[in-house]
Amino acid sequence: MNIQDYQQARLSRDPRFDGVFFTAVKTTGIFCRPVCPATPPKEHNVEYFETASEALVSGYRPCLRCRPESAPFSPAWSGTETTVKRALSIIHQNGFNGLKLSELADKLGITDRYLRKLFEQQLGVSPKAYVQHQQILFAKSLLHQTHLPINQIAYACGFNNVRRFNDAFKRITTKTPSEIKKLQVSDAPIRLQMNYQPPFNWQHWHDFSEFRLMDGIETLGSSSYGRTFNWLTEKGSYIKGWFNAVHRPDKQGFNVSINIDDAKYLYPVSQKIRQVFDLNANVELINSQIVNAGFPDHNLQQGIRIPGSWSPFEAGIRAILGQQVSVKAATNLLNTLILHLGDKKTSSNGNMKTRYWFPTPKQIAKSDLAFLKIPQARKTTLITLATWCNKHPEGEVKDWLELKGIGPWTVEYAQMRGEANTDIWLDSDLGIKKALDIFPEIDAEKAKPWRSYLTFNMWSML
């Protein structure tokens, strides 16, 4: 984008650019989202930044009105396959639970020094500063929106004590947490607003999920979706929780209620929820690339998002059970698996509602799956995958190809829905082949790095 594009988007308060850039006002020292309802400042008083971290490190403090911490994370360069993008993915997936710079560099296969250099070049801040900015921005979101006490907010944001939290928060925002917090402390559920860049094709997301719904785990309403989840901690144990999200197109977002056993993992869980709905998608950028690949503009489904699975393992199990059977049959098999192996809990508040949790790799690996009416070879594949995932909790999906019974389609499906990989082209899929017979001029290579969205658009035509 150039200055003219920034200016036009700012003055029109165009929600499509929410999260793509931020505007800072030199006279007030405050930075805002481009959708801020405040009277737009004069252009000569405005400075533009691609990330909130750049604005913070330049000495600006976040606006209390439009709350930049609520913007979707969709910078203009986010589609580029870069080391920084991978680093950010690891940071946001891991949260603030002890990931060291050296460990992050090792995962990326580079040195600490080179990692710092890349962050400075592309984000304008060091990795350490970026992480701390995310901590403070998330804390600000919790202070504004939840009834959590300040000490729990500090804990949820990765601080071991309140004093360090207070010092860091005031240094970056110029205000204390107490000055920001307005809601009284109570046991009310944790509620967060999660924004996106419009349009969001809720009907497509809803219909795709409806035919694949997991009984006892997922709930789906006309404008809402909820589910239970397991979260694997750094100690190898699981914590449990559930969430419910209500779509608010008038607010360009979702109102999300979260119940979680340990608030320490609230940040990575909230990021996973964003991934489930694909809230960080830069729709304008994606659509232009898909059309550039030859997909007919009039057939384009505006606002399609990738309906995410909670984990690659869950997506992999679903894909294996779906081999050579209909979606309905695969979902029935999945529900049978959950009924026999998933943990469950019946509420005691009078409605006797039973919640189920998706089986862990260990639970499936220990079973002979005799209750599933599928070929023995497929049962063996399920157990093989579960055993591998239990031994390699941080293993990459691409390594599944080494396992007997798992082919490229299963791996790519799990990468697309479980890892939120935006560049998966399922050219071996029967539905994609049928769609290509209708539109043979489509060149998927030109849709990079957004071929997952091309895949879903092709499916939507069938």
Mean pLDDT by 10 residues, the chain (462 residues): 85 91 95 94 93 92 92 67 81 80 88 90 87 94 95 93 95 93 90 95 97 97 98 92 97 96 94 96 92 94 95 97 94 97 84 90 98 96 98 94 95 95 92 91 94 94 80
Residue 391 lies in a domain: no
pLDDT at 244 (0 to 100): 98
Q: Is 139 helix (H, G, I), strand (E, B) or coil?
A: helix
pLDDT at 350 (0 to 100): 60
pLDDT at 78 (0 to 100): 58
111 in the same domain as 158? yes
- What CATH number should be reported for the domain holding residue 29? 3.40.10.10
Amino acid at site 266: L
302 in the same domain as 165? no
pLDDT at 253 (0 to 100): 96
Residue 366 lies in a domain: no
Of residues 4, 70, 2, the one with CA closest to residue 36:
70
Number of other residues whose CB lies within 10 A of the CB of residue 226: 16
Structure tokens at 63: 């606006």
- Cα distances from 128 to residues 85, 158, 205, 297, 312, in angstroms, run 16, 13, 36, 43, 28
105 in the same domain as 169? yes
Number of other residues whose CB lies within 10 A of the CB of residue 2: 6
55 in the same domain as 7? yes
- What CATH number should be reported for the domain holding residue 104? 1.10.10.60
DSSP classification of residue 80: S
pLDDT at 96 (0 to 100): 82
Asked whether the CA dihedral 315, 316, 320, 321 is positive or negative, the reply is negative
Q: Residue 176 is part of which domain span?
A: 83-180
Residue 117 lies in a domain: yes
> Which of 180, 198, 226 represents a domain boundary (last residue)?
180
The rounded distance, in Å, linking the Cα atoms of 199 and 16 is: 8
Residue 323 lies in a domain: no
Number of independent structural domains in the chain: 3
- Cα distances from 2 to residues 106, 144, 208, 217, in angstroms, run 36, 33, 37, 46
The rounded distance, in Å, linking the Cα atoms of 75 and 229 is: 29
Kindly state the helix (H) or strand (E) to which residue 345 belongs, with its residue range.
Answer: strand 344-346
pLDDT at 99 (0 to 100): 73
pLDDT at 76 (0 to 100): 58
Question: What is the per-residue pLDDT across 102-117, written as a single tens digit (0 to 9) for each?
Answer: 888 998 889 999 999 9
Residue 330 lies in a domain: no
Question: What is the per-residue pLDDT across 226-252, written as a single tens digit (0 to 9) for each?
Answer: 999 999 998 889 999 999 999 999 999
